[in-house]
Amino acid sequence: MIDTSRTVAPMPCERPPAGFPADLLPLLGLPAPDDLTDAQAAGRACVWGGGPLTLATAVDLGEHEHNGVRIFPQSCSPCIAAQAYRALAPHSVDCAPCHDRDHWRDCPTGGALHRLRVDALRQPGGTCPRDAR
Ligand SMILES: [Zn+2]
Ligand SMILES: [Zn+2]
């Protein structure tokens, strides 16, 4: 039984993920909220690698609600690039445009994941351990 009385009142303005395509998020496989440390849930540490984040390097993954608690997952650039790359493979298995060198950019998902990866790779590196990516 979920205790809805603990639901937090909506913030005056919901933060849209700045520059991050929210519809890609389900493909990237965010870790389970219960597995996050306090720092990860608050966006102070990378949600995937756990390295400390600074405003300059953090990728905002939007605001999420879990059991009435708001979490603010953020990622470092290398981790988001790695996750985007990982998400491309299972997607492209069943996607015809993604198999075609001349047309994969036409795929909204494949093209967006690729752009996300390329943009992230241009950003300064994070502090996550390499094997966490
Ligand atoms: Zn990271
Ligand atoms: Zn595709």
Cα distance between the two ends of the chain:
36
Q: How far is the CA of 64 from the centre of ligand 2 (A)?
A: 26
d(CA 96, CA 93): 8
Average pLDDT score over residue span 50-64:
88
Q: How far is the CA of 59 from the centre of ligand 2 (A)?
A: 23
CB atoms within 10 A of CB 73: 25
pTM (two decimals): 0.78
Q: How far is the CA of 49 from the centre of ligand 1 (A)?
A: 4
d(CA 4, CA 127): 37
Amino acid (one-letter) located at 31: P
| Helices marked H in 1-69 | 25-28, 38-41
The strand pairing partners of 129, in sequence order, are: none
- pLDDT band for position 2 (cuts 50, 70, 90): low
E strands present in the chain: 59-60, 64-66, 69-71, 74-75
* Residue of 27, 50, 28, 30 whose CA lies nearest to 40: 50
Q: How far is the CA of 23 from the centre of ligand 1 (A)?
A: 20
Please check whether residue 28 is in contact with residue 87, taking contact to mean a CB–CB distance below 8 angstroms: yes
Cα-Cα-Cα-Cα dihedral sign, residues 21, 22, 25, 31: positive
Does the pLDDT at position 65 exceed 70?
yes
- pLDDT band for position 105 (cuts 50, 70, 90): confident
Any idea where the domains of the chain sit in the sequence? Answer: 82-123
Does the pLDDT at position 9 exceed 50?
no
The strand pairing partners of 75, in sequence order, are: 59
